[in-house]
Structure 1
Amino acid sequence: MFEVVLARLAPRIVETDLPDQLWGAYDLLTHTIFLRPRLAPIQRRSTLSHETAHALLGHTGHHPRQERAAEELSASWLIHPTQWAAATRIYNTATPLAHELDVLPRDTHAYMRLLKRTQKQENHPWPPAE
């Protein structure tokens, strides 16, 4: 899914060494996604999806709220609900789920947060029904 968004946004993608052990970064001013070279395929896909989420959301800088939003949007692109449902019947922790779904554990954690928040919103709609 994120590949479609990535193609539409068409950011420049540059592999370069990044500070602080970062795997990726997005620069809104130059519309560039920077990726650490030699990431494993699963790391590269997850990082590229995460940085694409920053690009779509128009994020600048590094703020925890922006990171959470990018993580959850990225996870929603990488994890299909049907696959999630099947995998959670077998596994109940992040690492085995990630392995089964071919994503990183951080993606499964983000997807779990997204599901919890969505369920809370469904249980407590606003404005209240009349």
Structure 2
Amino acid sequence: MARSDGSSFFRRSNSFWIVTISLSLAFYTCSVFWPELIPFSSLGPFGALVKHLVDNHYPVLYYGWYLTWIIHLLEALFAMKLCSDKGIHSSSTRLLWFVQTFLFGFASLGLLVKYSPDGRSKRH
């Protein structure tokens, strides 16, 4: 149970985003490292586009894959700064924010950005 001072505040990302981002990153990973496993012809126009990218622009996909994970790492590090700024001091809670943000990026970071330790939520 979270303490009322907010030092253990954590919210899990929405299941929709967890599934969507996980499947997207898995597809991207397979496209870059194991394209022979993907049935491009069964995916319609999307499959044709990805097949074209794999065949003709592989370096962009390859370096883009690494860039994706670097961006996720930077988001996770930013989440650590936000935890400090918002008074979330529990080591286990900070680790949860780091891991969740590293894996799901904006879907996690958005929850932390919206959190207001004084109880007022930042909604638009």
Greater RCO (CA < 8 Å, at least 6 residues apart): 2
Q: TM-score, normalised by structure 1?
A: 0.28
Is the strand fraction higher in 1 or 2? 1
User: Which entry has the higher C-alpha Rg, 1 or 2?
Assistant: 2
Is the helix fraction higher in 1 or 2? 2
